[in-house]
Structure 1
Amino acid sequence: MPKIALFGAVGAIGQSIASSLRSQGQAYRVVGRDAASLQQAFGADPLAECVTWNPDQNASIEAAAAGIDTLIYLVGVNYWQFELHPQLMRKTLDGAIAAGVRKILLIGTVYPYGPAQSNPVTEDHPRRPNSYKGRMRMAQEQVLWQAHAAGKIQATVLRLPDFYGPGVDKSLLHSAFQAALQGGTANLVGPLDRPHEFVFVPDVGPVVCRLLEQPAAFGKTWHLGGAGVTSQRELLDLIRQHGAVPFKQRVIGKTLLRLLGLFDPLLREMVEMHYLLSSPLILDDSALQRLLGPIVKTCYAEGVRQTLAAAMHAPQKLKR
């Protein structure tokens, strides 16, 4: 029976972690709401055990976590339903603890920090969210740390910046990757020239697997930064260099984002997070590198090339 379970496994980060476990010959469980999606993503892997759950039912959560030692938490919600994050964490923890799960790793975000007080940002940066989404993510973490402090489970958090890579359609750069293969116009959220960082999703899985092997990882928050500081414009240049066709671009600023948000709930919810584009927040992951040793990070040029190559062979993933 697998000892590691990925809750919310179908997304790009979950598939990166699964790929790393697979490369080690390690059995794992993937847990999600939709059986068909799980089968499509993991059904061909004999090491993967696909389990569906209903996060609103305690018995279903406990059954999904039965026999598991370590739970990797990747459960997502709609961008306009962030109030569900702390609720889902509490329900999942209750079920997992009842099932005897000993450890949990949360894939976290930079949202709880609010604007960076200085850069690069270390793990001891104050959590002072200036957005509703940041407050909900901080509340999610507080639920986790309360369970850890009570001795009910060992917890750790791995924070990631924005990400990109093969199969990633929830990225600032997704529209540009689409346009580089299909032509047309890439819709981007500006400003494009501010310092930013992106983590290449295939690089995440190996780090997560190494982190789980370290007893000292638990009880702390860790950062995994991108392959250096860049900007959206620099990555757009790389996408154009490696893309199949020329494309135009349309840049949406905060004012237009707010206006378009009157008609699009996703864009409406992006308004309060716009500060992450206008005010740089760069993660310092030196503590993680001291714990794990050297971390492989794919350079942006190679990451762009791999992302385009993967999309070219799976065009249906771009047409969303």
Structure 2
Amino acid sequence: MGLHTILGANGTIADALVPVLQANNEKIRLVSRKPKPVPGAETFTADVTSREQVFAAVKGSEIVYLLVGIQYNIDVWRRDWPVIIRNVIDACKAANATLVFFDNAYMYGKVDGPITEETPYRPSSKKGQVRAGIATTLQEEMRSGGLKAIIARAVDFYGPGVTEKSAPGLLVFTNMRKGKKAQWFINPNVPRSYNYTPDAGKALYMLAKTPSATGQVWHLPTVDPPLTGKQFVAMAAKYMNASDKVKVLPRWILKIAGLFNPFIKEMYEMHYQDELPFVFNSSKFEKAFDFKPTSWEEGIRQTAEWYKQQPVG
């Protein structure tokens, strides 16, 4: 039985993946700067910007999941992402490990129509340019044959336990739990894809365990068709026993808020995803693995059940 190592073990996607690994009796190593202990898993302290520490963390692994999230700041991204991807590529080659890189969809930029794995990289943001660069580096390594790797892409996500860094979590479920009106960025009348985190965790494991999946880009499961913001809020309201009214946050308010909040300032360039239809297609994965994504109804119901159990802070 091989060792499954998670780089970025304290994040949302790691939280979705670990139970899947446990259910399949896999050996698990959790790596971060301050890894939280999990029963039955090994913890390993490392900084992914340190080449020496990454090599030590990856040594002996069969599968390495790169799930790291770094500070949401373009200067940090430009400085650290190229270093991280190079460290992890070289460490995986040295260990003869398969790399599963959890990626986003920033590199595609504004796309008219569904986004598939064949969609070219035309980033329309500074962060998208960084992500296109590291994805291209990884794909060149995959093509050269020196690295066994998989790129698994997702968009913004929602699910039980997902609060921070999730627009539906922060704007919809958290507000409803507090008895407030749900909020939505810019345009609640266009379709907007999301990934349900339990599906993402299962899909990452399925890809990791399938040798024929290596050398490819895969979009993680997302329901087709996507809901509009108003539809999402209405469905959440049903299960949260809340109002289905939506307070729209227009672009100009976000611009002003960015003057006071560094995260909103950094998020601003990504808001084309909220202004226009944003449709993420995962039919390649669904067909290859005979996988049916969790329905909007069921995913939102499960998420609402989790939120209703949380204390109102």
Q: Same fold (TM over 0.5)?
A: yes
2:152 maps to 1:158: yes
Matched-pair identity in % = 28
Question: Match for 1:62 among 44, 52, 55?
Answer: 55
C-alpha change, 1:101 and 1:15, in structure 2 (3 Å) is farther
SS of the residue aligned with 2:248?
A: strand
How is 1:269-308 mapped onto 2 (pairs within 5 angstroms)?
269-292=266-289, 294-308=290-304
Q: Does 1:131 align with 2:125?
A: yes
Q: CA deviation at 1:250?
A: 3.0
CA shift in 2, pair 1:314/1:67, >3 Å: farther
- For structure 2, the residue ranges without an aligned partner over 5 or more in a row are none
Which residue of 206, 218, 239 corresponds with 1:242?
Answer: 239
CA distance in 2, matches of 1:179, 1:287: 35
Cα distance in 2 for residues equivalent to 1:76 and 1:214: 25
Displacement of 1:312 in angstroms is 2.8
With structure 2 as the length reference, what TM-score do the two structures score? 0.91
Pairing 1:108–2:103 present = yes
Q: Count residues in correspondence.
A: 307
Aligned to 2:309: 313
Match of 1:71? 64
- State the distance in 1 between where 2:83 and 2:250 align: 33
Alpha-carbon distance between aligned partners in 2 of 1:283 and 1:206, rounded to the nearest angstrom:
18
User: 1:145 corresponds to which letter in structure 2?
Assistant: Q
1:220-239 to 2 correspondences below 5 Å: 220-228=216-224, 229-239=226-236
Give the deviation of 1:128 after TM superposition. Answer: 0.7
In the alignment, the residues of structure 2 paired with residue 221 and residue 149 of structure 1 have an alpha-carbon distance, to the nearest angstrom, of: 12
- TM-score (normalizing by structure 1): 0.89
CA distance in 1, matches of 2:308, 2:77: 33
Indicate if the aligned counterparts of 1:196 and 1:232 stay in contact, CA closer than 8 A.
Answer: yes
Shift of 1:67: 0.6
1:142-192 deviation digits (Å, cap 9, x = unpaired)? 222233234332111111122100111221112321122221344431211
Partner Cα distance (1:244, 1:2) in 2: 45
Mapped partners of 1:90, 1:137: distance in 2: 13
**In structure 1, what is the Cα distance between the partners aligned to 2:250 and 2:242?**
25
Secondary structure at 2:77 match in 1: coil
Q: Which amino acid aligns with 1:265?
A: P
In the aligned structure 1, how far is the partner of 2:242 from the partner of 2:282? Answer: 36
**Structure 2 CA distance for aligned equivalents of residues 166 and 183 of structure 1:** 19
Distance 1:182 1:164, change over 3 A: same
CA shift, 1:303, in A, is 1.3
Aligned residue runs from structure 1 range 1-320, under 5 A: 3-35=3-35, 38-39=36-37, 43=38, 45-46=39-40, 48-80=41-73, 81-83=76-78, 84-98=80-94, 100-117=95-112, 119-169=113-163, 170-174=165-169, 175-228=171-224, 229-246=226-243, 249-292=246-289, 294-315=290-311, 319=313
Deviation at 1:140, TM superposition (A): 1.5
Q: C-alpha distance in 2, partners of 1:101/1:60? A: 17
Shift of the 134–247 alpha-carbon distance from structure 1 to 2, 3 Å rule, reads same
Q: Give the Cα separation in 2 of the matches to 1:25 and 1:296.
A: 24
CA RMSD of aligned residues (A): 2.0
Distance 1:139-1:182 versus aligned 2 partners, 3 A rule: same
- Worse-superposed segment, 126-135 or 18-27: 18-27
1:14-40 deviation line (CA, Å, top 9, x unaligned):
1111111111122221111113xx22x
CA distance in 1, matches of 2:248, 2:266: 17
